[in-house]
């Protein structure tokens, strides 16, 4: 009986967050346009997920951010989404490339968006490079996370880009806590300070940047419990996916 209760509790607590309002709880407001690779993925003008510009015609994000029933718009060059900033570029998606092994579960949760028109690169819109080597970031390294939206677990969404830092955790510890939800080769997890904040409900597709290098994509947290420091935040590990990313972008 105890084992059954534990399993039910585990599934209720650790279910994936939806790709709705992206957000950083706590943290600070980013310096305007200091992260020109950030993308806001929108449906009917409403922010849904984060994304990362990795080439003038490709945006990297989470596979679960896709919605086949609606056309997605990629907004680049934004800081305050509530304003029509001159820096913003609204681009349609020509093709959605979800990883061929993604079946709607936790693993292989990665997608490339091919833009219908190339982004106009300038000081507001600029891609970030992919990792050059398949080498995971070491534990305890402080990494930046960024996104728009919720500033607390059940708080309001933020119109402006926010960011904070989280530290890489040992994969063995991530596996011990997340168990079958954590795939050591595909994922990275982080510890965070409750006062400094971190990723929160629905903050999918955004970047994990360590020492100015892109290392991961925001994947999931404990549902409605993102600020509980007992449960590390989880990201897809870009090093594992480099061969697929490069092959897909080469066409």
**Pairing outcome for strands 233-237 and 187-191:** antiparallel
- Tens of pLDDT, residue by residue over 131-141, are 887 678 889 99
Please check whether residues 136 and 226 belong to one and the same domain: yes
pLDDT class for 201, splitting at 50, 70, 90?
Answer: low
CATH value at residue 78: 2.40.10.10
Give the single-character DSSP code of 64.
G
Q: Please check whether residues 236 and 246 belong to one and the same domain.
A: no
Res. 106: pLDDT tops 60: yes
- Asked if the structure places residue 5 within a domain, the reply is no
Q: What percent of the chain has pLDDT over 70?
A: 87
Shared domain check, 133 and 92: no
pTM, two decimal places? 0.89
End-to-end C-alpha distance for the chain, whole angstroms: 53
Confidence bin at 223 (pLDDT 50/70/90): confident
Q: How far apart are alpha carbons 132 and 148 in whole angstroms?
A: 28
52-84 in b/e form (b: 16+ CB < 10 A) is bbbbebbbbbbbbbbeeeeebbbbbbbbebeee
Q: In this structure, are 119 and 186 located in the same domain? A: no
- Residue position matching structure tokens 């530290």: 167
In-domain check, residue 161: yes
Q: Catalytic one among 33, 79, 204, 233?
A: 204
Tokens of 160: 């402006």
Catalytic residue (one of 64, 79, 99, 233):
64
Active site residue 64: yes
CB-based burial label for 47 (10 Å; 0-12, 13-18, 19+): buried
Residues 203 and 114 in one domain: no
Cβ(199)–Cβ(145) under 8 Å? yes
Decide if 62 is catalytic. Answer: no
The tens digit of pLDDT for each residue in 28-87 reads: 999 999 999 999 999 998 888 899 999 999 999 999 999 888 999 999 999 998 898 999
Whether 108 and 146 map to the same domain: the answer is no
Both 87 and 108 in one domain: the answer is: yes
Distances, alpha carbon 137 to alpha carbons 45, 87, 183, 209, 243, in Å: 36, 33, 16, 10, 18
Residue in 33, 40, 47, 109 annotated catalytic: 109
Q: What is the pLDDT of residues 145-191, one digit of tens each?
A: 999 866 776 766 678 999 999 999 999 999 999 999 999 999 999 99
Number of structural domains (the chain) is 2
Largest separation between any pair of C-alpha atoms in the chain: 61
Whole-number pLDDT of residue 163: 93
Q: Which residue has the tokens 């404990």?
A: 222
Position 137 in a domain: yes
| Known catalytic membership, residue 204 | yes
* 185 and 82 inside one domain: no
Instruction: Give the mean pLDDT of the chain.
Output: 86
Residue numbers of the domain that contains 69: 36-127+242-250
201 and 145 housed in the same domain: yes
């Amino acid at each position: 009986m105890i084992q059954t209760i534990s399993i039910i509790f585990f599934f209720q607590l650790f279910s994936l967050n939806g790709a709705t309002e992206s957000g950083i709880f706590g943290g600070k407001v980013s310096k305007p346009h200091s992260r020109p690779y950030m993308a806001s993925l929108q449906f009917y003008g409403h922010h849904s997920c984060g994304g990362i510009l990795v080439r003038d015609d490709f945006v990297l994000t989470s596979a679960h951010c896709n919605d086949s029933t609606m056309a997605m718009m990629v907004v680049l060059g934004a800081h305050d989404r509530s304003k029509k900033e001159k820096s913003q570029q609204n681009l349609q998606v020509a093709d959605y490339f979800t990883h061929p092994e993604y079946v709607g579960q936790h693993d292989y949760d990665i997608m490339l968006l091919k833009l219908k028109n190339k982004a106009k690169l300038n000081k507001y819109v600029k891609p970030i490079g992919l990792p050059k080597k398949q080498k995971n970031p070491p534990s305890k390294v402080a990494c930046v996370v960024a996104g728009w939206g919720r500033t607390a677990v059940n708080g309001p969404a933020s119109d402006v880009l926010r960011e904070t830092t989280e530290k890489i955790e040992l994969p063995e510890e991530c596996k011990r806590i997340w168990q079958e939800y954590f795939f050591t080769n595909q994922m990275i997890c982080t510890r965070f300070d409750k006062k400094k904040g971190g990723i929160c409900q629905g903050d999918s597709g955004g970047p994990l940047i360590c020492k100015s290098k892109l290392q991961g994509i925001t994947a999931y947290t404990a549902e409605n419990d993102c600020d509980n420091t007992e449960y590390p935040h989880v990201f897809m590990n870009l090093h594992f996916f480099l061969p697929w990313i490069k092959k897909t972008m080469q066409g």
